[in-house]
């Protein structure tokens, strides 16, 4: 999408969605981005946890991934009705066609593209991701990447290798605001 079309879409939709792998920084960047725009920030995982009053780990353990994906799809569909909002969605949500279609129709999507090595380093410090419990994290991310990269790459904006959050925010704002 060219720059003018992107800016027009931004002013029409007033809704930004952050996509990318677990550990790519969607929540951290999303919160600051929302603050900069004076918009609200939503994180689909947090909303699901609040609604079901338990952790994502427990939802996967007790109800299973298929159940989670169903709730995730519904939660995101509701979130994407909002305006003046930045939404971070779970890394696997884009596997649902319905979710992908809503994202491309209703939002400006931003793909946080972080090197696998960096993701692995960050994810080794976390135990909040059920898909990464008791597995070789690098192998797992590579497998997930095989299925997901082509969807992430369809985003309106791609931000590569965020080492400096401030710089990433500046870059995103420059792309969407004239």
Binding residues for ligand S3P, rule: CB under 6 A, are 22, 26, 45, 56, 90-92, 129-131
* Cβ closest to ligand S3P, residue 36 vs residue 55: 55
* Buried/exposed code over 63-83 (b: 16+ C-beta within 10 A; e: otherwise): eeeeebbebbbebbeebbebe
For residue 96, the minimal CB distance to ligand S3P (Å) is 11
* Cβ closest to ligand S3P, residue 10 vs residue 91: 91
* Cβ closest to ligand S3P, residue 10 vs residue 155: 155
Q: Which residues does residue 16 pair with via DSSP β-bridges, in sequence order?
A: 86, 108
In the β-sheet with 85-88, what is the strand arrangement from edge to edge?
40-43, 85-88, 15-19, 108-113, 157-160
Q: Cα separation of 53 and 90, whole Å?
A: 18
For residue 118, the minimal CB distance to ligand S3P (Å) is 14
For residue 174, the minimal CB distance to ligand S3P (Å) is 25
* Cβ closest to ligand S3P, residue 22 vs residue 157: 22
- Do residues 58 and 48 lie in contact, with contact meaning Cβ atoms separated by under 8 Å? no
Q: Count of residues for the chain?
A: 178
For residue 154, the minimal CB distance to ligand S3P (Å) is 17
């Amino acid at each position: 999408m060219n720059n003018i079309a992107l800016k027009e879409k931004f002013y029409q939709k007033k809704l930004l969605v952050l996509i990318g792998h677990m550990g790519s920084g969607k929540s951290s960047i999303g919160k600051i981005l929302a603050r900069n725009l004076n918009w609200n920030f939503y994180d689909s995982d947090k909303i699901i946890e609040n609604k079901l009053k338990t952790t994502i780990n427990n939802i996967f353990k007790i109800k299973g991934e298929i159940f989670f994906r169903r709730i995730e799809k519904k939660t995101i569909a509701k979130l994407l009705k909002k305006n003046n909002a930045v939404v971070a969605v779970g890394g696997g949500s884009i596997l649902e066609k319905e979710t992908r279609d809503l994202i491309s129709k209703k939002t400006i999507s931003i793909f946080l593209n972080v090197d696998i090595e960096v993701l692995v380093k960050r994810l080794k410090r976390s135990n909040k991701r059920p898909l990464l419990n008791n597995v070789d994290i690098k192998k797992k991310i590579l497998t997930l990447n095989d299925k997901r990269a082509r969807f992430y790459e369809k985003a309106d904006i791609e931000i590569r290798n965020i080492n400096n959050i401030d710089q990433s925010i500046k870059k995103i704002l420059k792309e969407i605001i004239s």
